[in-house]
């Protein structure tokens, strides 16, 4: 039996990935599809017949968008908002409004879509562009600094030779000061070396390798230090995972840097867990490294991959930058979640050998 136009419209609405809620002119919901209930965390609630203020009492950003829509200031382009949900955590949504029966302005339609993956991709592209720009800057600075550093070192050597002719007391005092100057010269040279390392992408020796073998090797390497620090190492490696195409030395360096960062976050001991598994779409092998350390404050988490950004006096601010750079060079991506006082989780996604990134 042929379906009516209203049945087709209802089926079409339910088939959308975007959430749609229609409000009448009194701001009560008259229609809501399944996607809107899922995206806005309204599962188990009666939506139709309730007012916007009641539905979104916990989301002032969304209420502000609706208020502007009802007042006639439409948002033809989606406005981003963050929505905290117990089931999925923080979700990034794009929301826009339009009039229902535009000529008469009898109501408002709210359309929302999940843009979390898109925003994450934009952030990763921004990180890659920023790293590339910093790498070019590093090369320029390093070459400009290295020549005068060499000239200063030569002059210090000549000065040391000249001082051998003066009396012993003055010579010893001068030699101590020369040693301090040379130590600082070496420190500057290491900084220049690190600048050059970032500006020169290392050549990867790509082979079909097991991500399980990489993490197992790193944990074997750090197990003595873990015992000294009172850190318990736990491995949960899925058997039978497909190979990834990578440089085991470079990937090992990335995992080691994340592990060292976790050790530093657990000053009084704790647990460090590594887990491997396949992602939901079956195209990536995933590795999570989680610790029970001090965690990363929300205001700092977006900066942890920046060059030379560190919150520790003994830190260089390079370890996580290097790890991110290595993962990106392997066509993978890395993400981090953290809660202050509870710990941090790093997730590395690597494409299966022969698959696009």
Q: What are 164-197's pLDDT values in tens digits?
A: 777 777 777 777 777 777 777 777 777 777 666 6
Please give the radius of gyration of the chain, using alpha carbons only, rounded to the nearest integer. Answer: 28
Can you give the residue ranges of every domain in the chain? 5-114, 120-199, 207-351
Please count the other Cβ atoms lying within 10 Å of the Cβ belonging to residue 20: 17
Q: With 50 as the cut, is the pLDDT of residue 1 above it?
A: no
Give the integer Cα–Cα distance in Å for 150 and 124. 38
Give per-residue pLDDT as tens, 95-114: 888 877 755 557 888 888 88
**pLDDT at residue number 48:** 86
* Of the candidates 297, 292, 316, the residue with the CA atom closest to the CA atom of residue 306: 316
* 120-199 placed in CATH 1.10.3470: no
- The pLDDT, as a whole number, for residue 279 is 84
Any idea which of 200-209, 212-221, 287-296, 327-336 has the lowest mean pLDDT? 200-209
CA geometry: angle at 156 spanning 154 and 160, to 5°? 120
Residue 265: name the closest of 287, 289, 288, 286 by CA: 289
Report, as an integer, the average pLDDT of 112-131: 73
Q: Are strands 231-237 and 270-278 parallel, antiparallel or unpaired?
A: parallel
* CA pair distance 113, 336, nearest whole angstrom: 23
Q: What are the φ/ψ torsions at residue 331 (nearest 5 degrees)?
A: 65, 20
Comparing CA positions, the residue from 317, 265, 315 lying closest to residue 291 is: 265
User: Residue 10: pLDDT above 90?
Assistant: no
> What is the Cα–Cα distance from 250 to 261, expressed in whole angstroms?
17
Alpha carbons 90 and 119: distance in angstroms, whole number: 13
Note the pLDDT tens digit of each residue in 13-29: 777 788 888 898 888 98
Mean pLDDT of 240-255: 90
Pick the CATH number of 207-351 from 3.30.497.10, 3.30.565.10, 3.60.20.10, 3.20.20.80: 3.30.565.10
pLDDT digits (tens, 9 = 90+) for 273-329: 999 998 877 788 999 999 998 888 877 777 777 665 565 545 455 678 888 888 888
Superfamily of structural domain 5-114: PAS domain (3.30.450.20)
In this predicted structure, which of 151-155, 231-235, 267-271 has the lowest mean pLDDT?
151-155
Burial string for 105-136 (b: 16+ CB within 10 Å, else e) reads eebbbbbbbbbbeeeeeeebeebeeebeebbe
101: left (phi over 0), alpha (psi -120 to 50) or beta: left
């Amino acid at each position: 039996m042929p379906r009516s136009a209203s049945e087709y419209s209802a089926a079409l609405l339910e088939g959308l990935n975007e959430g749609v809620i229609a409000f009448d002119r009194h701001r009560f919901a008259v229609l809501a599809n399944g996607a809107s209930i899922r995206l806005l965390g309204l599962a188990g609630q009666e939506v139709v017949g309730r007012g916007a203020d009641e539905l979104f009492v916990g989301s002032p950003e969304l209420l502000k968008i609706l208020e502007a829509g009802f007042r006639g200031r439409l948002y033809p382009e989606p406005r981003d908002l963050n929505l905290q949900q117990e089931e999925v955590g923080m979700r990034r949504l794009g929301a826009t409004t339009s009039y229902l029966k535009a000529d008469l302005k009898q109501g408002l339609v709210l359309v929302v879509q999940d843009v979390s993956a898109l925003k994450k991709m934009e952030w990763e592209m921004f990180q890659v562009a920023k790293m590339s720009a910093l790498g070019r800057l590093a090369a320029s600075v390093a070459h400009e600094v290295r020549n005068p550093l060499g000239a200063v070192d030569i002059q210090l050597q000549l000065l040391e030779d000249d001082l051998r002719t003066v009396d012993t007391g003055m010579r010893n005092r001068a030699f101590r000061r020369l040693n301090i100057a040379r130590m600082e010269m070496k420190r500057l040279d290491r900084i220049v070396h690190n600048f050059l390392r970032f500006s020169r992408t290392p050549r990867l020796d790509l082979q079909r390798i097991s991500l399980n073998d990489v993490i197992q090797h790193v944990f074997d390497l750090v197990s003595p230090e873990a015992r000294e620090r009172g850190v318990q190492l736990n491995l949960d490696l899925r058997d039978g995972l497909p190979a990834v195409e990578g440089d085991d030395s470079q990937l090992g360096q990335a995992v080691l840097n994340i592990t060292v960062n976790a050790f530093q976050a657990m000053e009084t001991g704790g647990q460090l867990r590594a887990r491997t598994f396949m992602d939901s779409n079956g195209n990536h092998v995933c590795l999570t490294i989680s610790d029970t350390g001090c965690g990363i404050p929300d205001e700092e988490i977006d900066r942890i991959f920046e060059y030379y950004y560190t919150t520790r006096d003994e830190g260089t601010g390079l370890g996580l930058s290097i790890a991110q750079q290595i993962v990106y060079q392997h066509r993978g991506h890395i993400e981090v979640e953290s809660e202050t006082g509870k710990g941090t989780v790093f997730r590395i996604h690597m494409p299966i050998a022969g698959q696009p990134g």
